[in-house]
Amino acid sequence: MPLSINTYETAMSNNLTKRDIVIKIFTEKGYPQKHIRDSVQMTLDAISEALLSGRDVELRNFGVFQVQVRKSRVGRNPNRPETDVIIPKRAVIKFKAGKELKAKLKSYDVEKPSQDKPQA
């Protein structure tokens, strides 16, 4: 079901979703949404497969995704601080921003709260 530009803008929330990406490409380029949706999904599948096979994913000028292993550690249950909880080692995904993204972040106004995020 095609959406208009206004629908795209009002559908935006705090998070960017796959659907938001599809609608943005559709409104800017006019390609069929099914083709866009399939292309976005294939891209995400390729990234996932690469990470799960131990490969880094480098998207030039955007950043690098890497799988890193966190060591096991001892944690505490705040309700029962006398009891140690062993947190096993696990794989996590790390993201390191690329040069262009870092440069764009320098102009990000950290004093101005995001329009969509509630204040703490």
3-state secondary structure of 73: strand
pLDDT attached to residue 112: 75
3-state secondary structure of 46: helix
pLDDT in tens, 4-48: 444 555 455 689 999 999 999 999 999 999 999 999 999 999 999
Query: Does residue 108 form part of some domain?
Result: no
Q: What angle do CA 2, 29, 64 make, to 5 degrees?
A: 105
Query: Does residue 111 form part of some domain?
Result: no
Please list the residues that pair with 63 across neighbouring strands.
59, 97
pLDDT attached to residue 114: 63
**Dihedral (Cα; 24, 26, 30, 32), 10-degree rounding:** 170
- Same domain for 41 and 80, yes or no, is no
- Same domain for 38 and 9, yes or no, is yes
- Number of folded domains that form the chain: 2
pLDDT in tens, 72-84: 999 988 888 888 9
- Domain ranges, residue 75: 56-98
Query: Does residue 25 form part of some domain?
Result: yes
Residue by residue, DSSP assigns 91-108 as EEEEEEE-HHHHHHHTT-
- Same domain for 48 and 8, yes or no, is yes
